[in-house]
Amino acid sequence: MDTATHVVMGIGLGGLAMLDPVVSQSAAAAQTVMFATIIGSQAPDFDTVLKLRNNAVYIRYHRGPTHSIPAVLLWPLLVAGGVYLISPELPFSHLLLWSFIAVFLHVFVDIFNAYGTQALSPFTKRWIALGVINIFDPLIFLAHIIAFIFWRYGAPPGWTFSILYIILFFYYVWRCRARNKVVRNASRFHPGATHVFISPTYSWHKWHVVIRTPQRLHVTESRHGLIRYLESYPFEPIPNDPVIQAAKKDHNLASFLSFSPTYRWIVNENEEGWEVKFIDLRYRSKGYYPFVAVVRMDKDLNILTSFTGWIYSNETLEKRLKQGAKHVQ
């Protein structure tokens, strides 16, 4: 989920914690737990600092180690320990419990996005991306805001957020069923499909769907149960071509390939040399695929510049590639 949603969830858990009699015994204890749940709900995303290094490192590791099983156990200790040193207003065990719930909920809800996490690491490095909830879901965010308003005007926070999270539980169940229906529908049209990649949108009835068969990659859109075919590309393994193999040595393209499960590639020769472009087919917006990796090389296959990340215009892409050329030099 996005940062704003994780923040409101952290506040919501602080309100839910008022059901704990040890927390509700004093305002100081309640404020301490609220501080811990807000920090805990953000902690797994502290790896965003990797953006300061470069995009390739961020893409390769974001939602990776910091969302793993060891991290889910370590983050609560760090959060609860830090908060307890500043404000020892209640037993450490209760502070640790609510910090753990905040961290666990963060990682748990992230697996329902199309982006996903490596939540089962170190047992498997596979990205778990269920494609059920959009990265920002207006209903989830606004439901929290409404609960805050009820709390502000006197509703008991513990019961208010208990009701909210019961409602959201059934909302997730409904969205999972809707997602599975889309997958079944796609598989019905392509019974030989090896994989169906699905990405939710802001609309409950619209989904981006990529259907991979042994021969083709079909980029489609499911709307109200009807599948509309947008584009189709041949599906084949990355060839043992010297140009592409040279491009794969670039750190930006390597990060892209470590994250993206379905893509197409384009190889162009120009006056300077070669351009290799990989395009993630899961994210299609107004006919444009914003998540890409581009590597430019000279005639001798030496890397001149590269980029990977989210780009929404060719002008911005050229600007990023020029910046990349400076770093290569």
- Residue 154, φ and ψ in degrees, nearest 5: 110, -5
Using DSSP, state whether 113 is helix, strand or coil. coil
Pick from 66, 74, 72: which is nearest to 49 by CA? Answer: 66
* Interatomic CA distance for residues 309 and 326, integer angstroms: 18
DSSP class of residue 313 equals: S
Give a three-class secondary structure readout of 202-264.
CCCCEEEEEEECCCEEEEEEEECCEEEEEEEEECCCCCCCHHHHHHCCCHHHHHHHHHCCCEE
Residue 284, pLDDT score: 85
Give 97-114 pLDDT, tens digit per residue. 999 999 999 999 999 998
Residue 326, pLDDT score: 52
pTM for the whole thing? Answer: 0.88
* Cα-to-chain-centroid distance, residue 271: 38
Give start and end residues of each alpha helix (H) in the chain.
3-16, 27-42, 55-61, 69-86, 92-110, 138-152, 157-189, 242-247, 251-259, 314-328
Residue 182, pLDDT score: 93
| Residue 66 · residue 35 · CB < 8 Å | no
Pick from 205, 50, 53: which is nearest to 134 by CA? Answer: 205
Torsion, Cα 203 308 64 198, to 10 degrees, reads: 30
Per the DSSP assignment, residues forming a β-bridge with 220 are 209, 229
Pick from 133, 9, 5, 128: which is nearest to 63 by CA? Answer: 128
Query: What's the burial of 124, exposed, middle or buried (CB within 10 Å: 0-12/13-18/19+)?
Result: exposed
| Residue 84 · residue 24 · CB < 8 Å | no
Pick from 149, 141, 31: which is nearest to 90 by CA? Answer: 31
* Interatomic CA distance for residues 231 and 196, integer angstroms: 15
DSSP H or E segment with residue 112: none
* Cα-to-chain-centroid distance, residue 113: 6
Residue 51, pLDDT score: 67
Residue 69, pLDDT score: 93
Residue 97, pLDDT score: 96
The stretches in the chain having pLDDT less than 50 are 329
- Residue 206, φ and ψ in degrees, nearest 5: -125, 130
* Interatomic CA distance for residues 29 and 83, integer angstroms: 11
Residue 163, pLDDT score: 97
Give 47-58 pLDDT, tens digit per residue. 777 666 677 777
Query: What's the burial of 66, exposed, middle or buried (CB within 10 Å: 0-12/13-18/19+)?
Result: buried
Pick from 283, 256, 195: which is nearest to 60 by CA? Answer: 256
Torsion, Cα 204 206 208 212, to 10 degrees, reads: 100
Q: Which residues of 212-233 are buried (b: 16+ CB within 10 A; e: fewer)?
A: beeeebbbbebeeeebeeeeee
Within 8 A by CB and 6+ apart from 117, the residues are: 63, 64, 67, 107, 110, 111, 127, 128, 129
